Chains A and B, each alone.
Chain A
Amino acid sequence: MAKIIVVTSGKGGVGKTTTSASFASGLALRGHKTVVIDFDVGLRNLDLIMGCERRVVYDLINVVNKEASLNQALIKDKHCDNLYILPASQTRDKDALTEEGVEGVLKELADMGYEYIVCDSPAGIEKGALMALHFADEAIVVTNPEVSSVRDSDRILGILASKSRRAMENREPVREHLLITRYSPARVDKGEMLSVDDVKEILRIPLIGVIPESQAVLQASNAGSPAIHLKGSDVAEAYSDVVARFLGEERPMRFVEAPKVGLLKRLFGG
């Protein structure tokens, strides 16, 4: 049965789309048939980060309105065989999403044999975000180590616990995972950022990974290639760990300590 995962945060600009792209790619690289859906209707970005913006013909809203079939709208990823992208519409707004429509699309995707359906949520707590999380089985809550982002994530966790389909039907609650992105251990040591433990203490949900702050993310986005494909970079390693943990493997938490600066380097500069 298909598993629906929402990538959400409340706050904008924390790395939801970057995470959706890399996480979905990571699942596909491990051989799982995966689709990633952009729910940010009107401000679509996922296709840019996945590097398929010029191949978008039909989108999620066309499928919801039955103006196009799913097969017409799905775009095959250029990096992985098992990954498809369902882009958002650039010209419509989020009111075009209906609960029945989204449910129909998700059900059809499940019937097509997708194992994982990754929903990239827009920021905020309005319609688009509610639609993205409504049918979720699991949630990756993306948080930056600063207070307003953590507060917004707390708010989204409350909405997951009250407005998701699972909550409304009194089923087992949505499984929540905390993902801390743009983490800079050096700045934590200087007291400029909340630490991993601070964030965990406030949100109190299991940590699935820590993605270090990195220039590589920006370069990857601009190049239209998810960061997980940047072989050898710490970001790619961190996202691979997240995917592995999601699939049930044990991995030690990396990139949470500031690199030790050697004595010579400290004396003579790096």
Chain B
Amino acid sequence: MTISAPAPAFDIKSASLDLLALVLRSTDPAQLEPALQSRFSHLSANGQSEAFVLGLEALPSLEGVDLGSLLPLMGRHGIKVVALRHPDPAQAALASRYGLGFTTGGGRSSGPIQETAAATPVAPAQEPATSLIIDRPVRAGQQIYAKGGDLVILAVVSAGAEVIADGNIHVYGPLRGRALAGARGNTSARIFTQAMEAELVSVAGVYRTIEQALPDSIRHKPTQIYLENERLVMKALHE
């Protein structure tokens, strides 16, 4: 007789969802109401709603911000706020008071930067690709992940360390650990290093462990690694 375990009541899976952020520039209802009306009439008219993250980072101060009246106002226009966003982690308390999620990051729009950008006539293009810059050695047992962009390391990546990026990986020092570029499937991602001594390299899931000594042309030398016809190519730089 076999006893089958009861089916679990839930599974936990990793999920990464896209949400729109509504970045407030004013909390004055007299200003907000008509603006929301003109922008979101399509939602409220049909009785629909959409989930938003409410970005508070562009407001000069959070004093006097009355979420108790703001949230219903947005709700009337079909905006369902699910979380707050603010660079100061202390504001998490504010979010929990209203039963909302809270995040500090995820965006790159802040007040002072906005002003210099406004001075140039360039249209605010899509979000700039975010790069993560690390200026200290990445030691054995450490793992660095640059989500959604490039990873730039200005020191050594030790054996036993792991550096991962959704974009390219640049190591301006010896690469002795593992490097995985294009972690979410970007097949055009590349790995660059000043001195190729890696244990493992991978681009978009195509990996290679390096057990045998590398050819003299790239061993301890500046090297790039990329995918060509689904094969990893390791090639000396400056050739």
- Give the interface of A toward B (CB within 8 A): 125, 151-152, 154-155, 157-159, 161-162, 173, 202, 204
- CB <8 Å contact, B156 and A155: no
Name the residue on B nearest A204 (C-beta): B156
Q: A155 touching B140 by the CB < 8 A rule?
A: yes
Within 8 Å of chain A (Cβ to Cβ): is B158? Answer: yes
Closest residue on chain B to residue A156 by CB atoms: B139
The answer to whether A161 and B139 have CB atoms under 8 Å apart is yes
List the count of A-B residue pairs having beta carbons below 8 Å apart: 36
Contact of B188 with A by CB under 8 A: no
**In the complex, A125→B159 CA distance in Å?**
18
**Chain A positions within 8 Å of B160 at CB level:** 151, 154-155
- Evaluate contact between A158 and B156: CB separation under 8 angstroms: no
Question: Residues of A contacting B140 with CB < 8 Å?
Answer: 151-152, 154-155, 158
| Residues in chain A near residue B156, CB distance under 8 A | 204
For A154, what are the chain B residues with a Cβ–Cβ distance below 8 Å? 139-140, 158-160
Known: A158-B141, A158-B158, A204-B155. 13 other contacts (CB 8 A): A125-B141, A151-B159, A154-B140, A154-B158, A154-B160, A155-B141, A158-B138, A158-B161, A161-B137, A162-B142, A202-B158, A202-B176, A204-B156
Residues of B within 8 A of A (CB): 136-142, 155-156, 158-161, 176
Q: Determine how close the nearest CB of chain A comes to the CB of B69; give it in whole angstroms.
A: 37
Contacts of A125 in B (CB 8 A): 141
Which of A152, A155, A161 contacts B136, CB < 8 Å?
Answer: A161
Q: Which of B141, B155, B160, B176 has the most CB of A within 10 A?
A: B141
Nearest B-chain residue to A151, judged by Cβ: B140
Where chain B touches its partner, the secondary structure class is loop
Q: In angstroms, how far is the closest chain A Cβ from the Cβ of B99?
A: 30
Contacts A/B (CB < 8 Å), 10 sampled: A151-B159, A151-B160, A154-B159, A155-B139, A155-B140, A158-B139, A161-B136, A161-B139, A204-B137, A204-B156
Set of chain A residues within 8 Å of B138, measured between Cβ atoms:
158
Closest approach, in angstroms, between the C-beta of A62 and any C-beta of chain B?
34
B176 CB contacts on chain A under 8 angstroms: 202
Least Cβ–Cβ distance between B103 and chain A, in angstroms: 20
On chain A, the residues within 8 Å of B141 by CB distance are 125, 155, 158-159
CA–CA, A155 and B176, complex, Å = 14
Q: Which residues of B have CB within 8 Å of A151? A: 140, 159-160
Minimal Cβ-Cβ distance residue in B for A10:
B140
Residue of A nearest to B156 (CB): A204
* CA of A92 to CA of B155, assembled, Å: 41
Rounded to whole Å, the gap between the CB of B207 and the closest CB of chain A is 22
How many angstroms between the C-alpha atoms of A202 and B155 in the bound complex?
A: 12
**Bound form: Cα–Cα A202–B159 in Å:** 9
In the bound complex, what is the Cα–Cα distance between A159 and B138 (angstroms)? 10
Taking the closest CB of chain A, its distance from the CB of B131, in whole angstroms, is: 20
Give Cα distance in the complex from A163 to B158, angstroms.
18
Nearest A residue to B161, CB-CB: A158
> Are the CB atoms of A157 and B159 closer together than 8 Å?
no
Cα distance A162–B143 in the bound complex, in angstroms: 11
Question: Chain B: which residue is nearest A157 at the CB level?
Answer: B139
Bound state CA distance, A158 and B162, in angstroms?
A: 12
Which residues of A have CB within 8 Å of B155?
204
CB distance from A155 to the nearest CB of B (A): 4
Q: Which 6 A-B pairs have the closest CB atoms?
A: A158-B139, A154-B140, A155-B140, A158-B142, A155-B141, A154-B158
**Interchain CA distance A154-B157 in the complex, whole Å:** 10
Least Cβ distance of A129 to chain B in Å? 13
Closest partner residue, chain A, to B137 (CB atom): A204
> In the docked arrangement, what's the CA distance between A125 and B160, Å?
15
A155-B141 Cα distance, complex, nearest whole Å: 6
Give Cα A138–Cα B146 distance, bound, in whole angstroms: 30
In the assembled complex, the Cα of A157 lies from the Cα of B155 at a distance in Å of: 14
A151 to B137, CA, bound (A): 14
Interchain nearest-CB distance for B87 vs A (Å): 15
Q: Find the A residue at minimum CB distance from B177.
A: A154
Q: Report the Cα distance A154→B156, complex, angstroms.
A: 11
B218 to chain A, nearest CB (A): 18
B137 to chain A, nearest CB (A): 6
B196 → chain A closest CB, angstroms: 15
CB-based nearest B residue for A147 = B159
Nearest-neighbour CB distance to chain B for A197, whole angstroms, equals: 14
- On chain B, the residues within 8 Å of A158 by CB distance are 137-142, 158, 161
Contacts of B159 in A (CB 8 A): 151, 154, 202
**Residue with the highest number of chain B CB atoms closer than 10 Å, among A154, A162, A202, A204:** A154
**CB-CB < 8 A to B158: which residues of A?**
154, 158, 202
Report B102 CB to chain A, min CB distance, Å: 21
Residues in B whose Cβ lies below 8 Å from that of A159: 141
